[in-house]
């Protein structure tokens, strides 16, 4: 039988259940379809947030197909002790205050605090005041070889350590030259206009449809969508005001007439108080919920690609480019600081490809082949 371990995992400031082991396609489908189960590139495993009920459901879902090993650490008393131990890992003095003073965003503060806590745990019994470049280099090797973290996670760990040395401890920029990994250059995932039309048509829920319309028609990041308020919608000028976008930059972007019509209808059904899109119990809508319903609608539309909210932003930029919009306007609409960031869409656009012919097709007549005769 296959064997899998359900292991306690402290991830993103909460206690989770890590699902580890080697398993076949059937088991893989069970795990992927388990409610709220996500994959962590940092830890190289699937995980869900811990509750006793979730652990019980996970155990019963997997036990018919394989032997599940549940470590003793999930004992309630020991679990509580572990959470307390993790929670009490102290930050360096003044670390959080310096992040706030320098106006780092909440998500960045959480990420940096998480990374510096993990670093402090690794260097024990040394204190953070005693670290050297060699210690940091050893930690980088541990992240790459043992934890097998992504390039972005490794860079974030370097930034969190640098922040302590240079900003909190007011040290020299000696760690500025810590070797950084070369970032992977992935092409953005983009839907065709036909795929986008099919997916948008699948959304019968008016709130879901409005949110997808806004993401695609304005090229919004998911955080920008969820931070919108009604006063940010300028119906007279047909623009949307983005307040405090990435890099704390304000900008305006397009307001689609179709999206505006649906927003007006949505407003007659949902009387949100503060945010444009609010959760069932008020407050900001959950970004995880947005990605979940987008993934659901993409599957219903028969799209095999992995689709997220950011895919709609990529598709917005690519479709504008294919319809002849100047790259500088697209850069402004997306809020990119560098034109190089926007230029990556030129690598996925099919604009101009219709005029190109593959060299194999030039040889087709001479080869005198058809799909029936040539095989």
Give the catalytic positions in this structure: 221, 246, 310, 313, 336, 345
Distance CA 193, CA 189 (A): 13
Interacting residues of 234 by C-beta distance below 8 A, sequence separation 6+:
240, 241, 252, 255
DSSP assignment of 294-359, as one string? Answer: HHHHHHHTT--S---HHHHHHHHHHHHHHTT--HHHHHHHHT-SSHHHHHGGGGT--TTGGG---H
**Which backbone phi and psi does 47 adopt, to 5 degrees?**
-155, 155
- Residues 251 and 245: their CA atoms lie apart, in Å, by 8
Residues with Cβ within 8 Å of residue 243, at least 6 apart in sequence = 227, 232, 250
Contact (CB, 8 A) for 45 and 18: yes
Is the backbone peptide bond immediately before 125 cis, with ω within 30 degrees of 0? yes
CA separation for the pair 289, 310 (Å, rounded) = 14
């Amino acid at each position: 039988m296959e064997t899998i371990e359900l292991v306690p995992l402290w991830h993103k400031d909460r206690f989770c259940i890590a699902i580890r082991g080697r398993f076949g396609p059937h088991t893989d489908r069970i795990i992927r379809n388990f409610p709220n189960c996500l994959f962590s590139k940092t830890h190289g495993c699937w995980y869900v947030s811990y509750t006793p009920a979730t652990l019980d459901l996970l155990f019963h879902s997997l036990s018919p197909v394989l032997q599940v090993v549940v470590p003793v650490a999930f004992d309630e008393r020991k679990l509580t002790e572990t959470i307390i131990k993790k929670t009490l890992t102290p930050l360096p003095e003044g670390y959080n205050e310096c992040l706030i003073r320098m106006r780092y965003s909440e998500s960045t503060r959480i990420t940096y605090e998480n990374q510096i806590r993990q670093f402090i745990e690794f260097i024990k019994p040394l204190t953070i005041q005693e670290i050297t470049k060699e210690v940091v280099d050893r930690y980088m090797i541990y992240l790459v070889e043992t934890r097998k973290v992504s390039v972005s996670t490794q860079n974030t760990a370097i930034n969190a350590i640098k922040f302590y040395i240079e900003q909190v401890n007011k040290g020299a920029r000696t760690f500025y030259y810590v070797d950084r990994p070369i970032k992977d250059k992935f092409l953005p995932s983009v839907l065709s206009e036909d795929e986008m039309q099919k997916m948008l048509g699948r959304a019968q829920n008016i709130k879901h449809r409005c949110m997808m319309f806004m993401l695609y028609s304005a090229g919004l990041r998911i955080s920008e969508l969820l931070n919108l308020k009604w006063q940010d919608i300028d119906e007279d000028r047909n623009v949307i005001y983005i307040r405090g976008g990435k890099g704390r930059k304000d900008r305006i972007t397009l307001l689609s007439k179709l999206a505006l019509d649906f927003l007006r209808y949505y407003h007659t059904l949902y009387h949100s108080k503060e945010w444009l899109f609010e959760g069932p119990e008020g407050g900001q809508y959950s970004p995880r919920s947005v990605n979940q319903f987008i993934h659901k609608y993409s599957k219903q539309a028969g799209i095999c690609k992995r689709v997220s909210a950011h895919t709609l932003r990529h598709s917005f930029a690519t479709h504008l480019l294919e319809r002849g919009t100047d790259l500088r306007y697209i850069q402004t609409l997306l809020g990119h600081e560098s034109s190089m960031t926007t230029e990556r869409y030129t690598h996925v656009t099919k604009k101009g490809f219709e005029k190109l012919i593959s060299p194999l097709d030039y040889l087709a007549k001479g080869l005198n082949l058809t799909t029936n005769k040539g095989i």
